[in-house]
């Protein structure tokens, strides 16, 4: 892992650690709203997926890839997070996680291959 990747990982873990699991962001997430209550397809679910991927508890598979790349980056969850006083940059976290994981999906890279 490069120094830049290591910095990105630390920053991501610090940001996701701020989540107090209040779940107020879940109901406003459009992908959750149309997915029959699958929490992995909500902003909170994605935060937990990222946390556990970074900690090595989960491995990147088909379902987790789907959850991460279906985020619309619409920031509606952040409005709620802010109003509840936590103010986590949820879409920034998901974007940075995509950037961190991008080598898995690019030719010649691949921590999962």
List contacts with other proteins (CB under 8 A): 30-31, 33-35, 60-63, 65-66, 69-76, 78-79, 95-102, 105-107, 112
CB of 91 to other proteins, least distance (A): 9
Residue whose CB is less far from other proteins, 3 or 106: 106
Nearer to other proteins (CB atom), residue 69 or residue 84? 69
Other residues' Cβ atoms within 10 Å of the Cβ of residue 21: 7
Residues 13, 54: Cα–Cα separation, whole Å: 7
Q: How far apart are CA 63 and CA 45, in angstroms?
A: 12
In the complex, the smallest distance separating the C-beta of residue 88 from other proteins, rounded to whole angstroms, is 15
**Minimum distance between the CB of residue 59 and other proteins, rounded to whole angstroms?**
11
Q: How far is the CB of 41 from other proteins (least distance, A)?
A: 9
Find, among 26, 103, 38, 27, the residue nearest to 66 by Cα: 38
64 C-beta neighbours (distance < 10 Å), count: 18
Residue 22 or 72: the one with the smaller Cβ distance to other proteins is 72
| Nearest CB to other proteins, comparing residues 19 and 68 | 68
């Amino acid at each position: 892992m490069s120094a830049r990747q290591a910095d990105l990982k630390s920053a991501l873990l610090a940001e996701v650690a701020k989540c107090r699991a209040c779940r107020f962001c879940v109901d406003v997430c459009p992908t959750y709203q149309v997915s029959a209550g699958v929490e992995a397809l909500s902003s909170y679910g994605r935060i937990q997926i990222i946390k556990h991927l970074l900690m090595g508890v989960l491995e990147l598979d088909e379902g987790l890839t789907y959850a991460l790349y279906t985020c619309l980056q619409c920031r509606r969850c952040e409005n709620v997070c802010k109003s509840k006083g936590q103010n986590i940059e949820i879409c920034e976290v998901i974007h940075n996680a995509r950037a961190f994981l991008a080598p898995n999906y690019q030719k010649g890279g691949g921590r999962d291959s």
